[in-house]
Structure 1
Amino acid sequence: MNAGEWQAIELAREVLRLPERASLAEIKRNYRRLSKQYHPDAAESGSAGSGEQMYRITAAYELLMRYCTEYRFPLKREEAEDAGLDPYDPEDWWQARFGPNPLWGNRKPKRR
């Protein structure tokens, strides 16, 4: 993911008023809450900019949902083992998703 995509995700997070770490349930909950507040047909919104704000909220929600659905990892143990990973080893899990540790490279630190 490049810097522009990360900036778009950060902006979407701010539009939906999410913390730095959020679950899918929190993303959906904030989207629904803000949609009720800013929807042009809602009785309390009535302001002229509510349509534009609703557009930003929907675009932010769609971007975050697209990001969350594209993040995939093996769900079956056999698939993980075929890829050379031990699904129960936290270091293998980390390296499969975020790459090797810049200090250690591909080798794992020795445990004592």
Structure 2
Amino acid sequence: MQQKKLSPENVYKASRILDLGERASLADIKNRYRKLIKSWHPDKCNDKPEQCREKTKEITWAYEIIVSYCNNYLYSFKKDDIVNNLPVDIQMKERWKKQFMDGHFSL
């Protein structure tokens, strides 16, 4: 299971898992989460229940990260906004921005 740390990489990964655009309202986020959870629920996956369990864990992780981010910051998932909205010291923000914008992280 992935860590629930609020970092630019995790927020971005979570927004991709939930398939959010560059901006989403809280209602959009909740609806997307519910739709994905319903479609990947282990009771509906008779052929690969273990894969469905892992996917629902991943979706739940992503939802928790996004809700935590949105409760404290903005509803924008553009790379620049994610890096600029998280409250960190200037040096860390610059390091994150360089790594994040240059694509030195994996989804």
On whether the aligned pair clears a TM of 0.5, the verdict is yes
Identical aligned pairs, as a percentage? 40
Q: Give the superposition deviation at 1:39.
A: 1.0
TM-score, scaled to structure 2 = 0.58
CA-atom RMSD in angstroms: 2.2
| Matched residue, 2:52 | 50
| Matched residue, 2:70 | 68
Q: Give the superposition deviation at 1:35.
A: 0.3
Identify which of 3, 7, 10 aligns with 1:8.
10
Alignment partner of 2:20: what SS? Answer: coil
Residues matched between the structures, number: 69
- The structure number with the bigger radius of gyration is 1
RCO higher in 1 or 2 (8 Å CA, sep ≥ 6)?
2
Q: Give the superposition deviation at 1:8.
A: 0.6
| Matched residue, 2:27 | 25
TM-score, scaled to structure 1 = 0.55
Deviations 1:9-53 (A, max 9, x none): 1100110111111111111011000000001122xx222300000
Alignment partner of 1:49: what SS? Answer: helix
